[in-house]
Amino acid sequence: MKDALTIHRALLERETQHEIVRLPIAIARADDLPRALGLPTERCLVTRVLACNDVQRGRRFLVGVIVPAGTVPPAEVVRHAVGARLIRPARADLVNAVTEYAADLVCPLLLPESMPVLIDRAIVDAHPLDEVVYTATGEASTALGIRALDLYALSRARPVRLSGRRAERPQAPAPAPAPREPVQHLGEMRTTQGEQELFM
C-alpha cells in the first residue's frame, strides 16, 4: 500500500517542495484533517473516489474528485463531467485495490494514469498558487503539505464547477487538539528533522 514514505520519495524525485506532517492525533478519514491540523476546511483537501459505469461503451472505471474536507461532490455533475451513464461511491475494497491507498485516506497524487481526476473549481479560485494545502497520505498519522500549484499539476486534476454538500458525520467528533502553527512557507527542499524521524 502507498503511504507517506512513497509520496515523499516520489516528490523528492520530482524536486517538488513539500512537507510530511506528523499529526497530533490519528485520523480515521481525510475529513478529520482540519481538526487534527487546526486549519480551516478549505486548506484541507480530500479525494472522493466514485465508481462509474458507461453502459454504451461497456466500460467501468473509477474517478477521483478533489474537494474541501467535509464536502461531497454532486454525483450528477461528476457523471456528466466524465461521460458516465451510472455513478456511485466506490466500494472501499475497490478503492484500496485500484489506488493502493487506504479507502478513506486517499491522496490525490500517484493515482493510476487511467483514473480521471477532477478538482472543484472553487478550490482553484480560492487558493493562491503558492499557498500550502494539506491532504491525506494513506496513513492515519501523517498529512502532506504541498503548494496548491504543485498539487494541481501533479494530480492532473481537471477543474470542474462543483457545489458539494456537507458530508454526514456518523459519530461525534473527538475533542480538538491544541492549535498548532501551520506551515505557511515551504523553504529549501530537504528532508526535515521531522521527516527523518518519520522515515528512520
What region, left, alpha or beta, does residue 100 occupy, with left being phi > 0 and alpha being psi -120 to 50 degrees?
Answer: left
Give, in order, the Cα–Cα distances in Å from 106 to each of 3, 65, 93, 119: 10, 11, 13, 14
Q: Tell me the C-alpha distance between 8 and 144, whole Å.
A: 9
Q: Tell me the C-alpha distance between 31 and 108, whole Å.
A: 14
**The predicted structure's pLDDT at residue 129:** 82
Residue-range domain boundaries for the chain:
4-161
The three three-digit cell numbers of residue 2, written as one number = 502507498
Residue 54: beta bridge partners? Answer: 59
User: Which of the residue ranges 91-95, 127-131, 188-192 has the most confident prediction, judged by mean pLDDT?
Assistant: 91-95
The answer for residues whose C-beta is within 8 angstroms of residue 128's C-beta and 6 or more apart is 148
Query: What single letter denotes the amino acid at residue 35?
Result: R
Asked if 67 and 31 count as a contact pair (C-beta separation under 8 A), the reply is no
> Residue 46 pLDDT > 90, yes or no?
yes
Assign 53 to helix, strand or coil. Answer: strand
pLDDT tens for 135-188 read: 999 999 999 999 999 999 999 999 999 865 565 554 444 444 444 444 433 443
pLDDT tens for 99-128 read: 999 999 999 999 999 999 999 988 888 878
What pTM value is reported for the model?
0.81
**The predicted structure's pLDDT at residue 132:** 95
Name the one residue in this structure whose C-alpha cell is 497530533: 24
Would you state the CATH architecture of domain 4-161?
Alpha-Beta Complex (3.90)
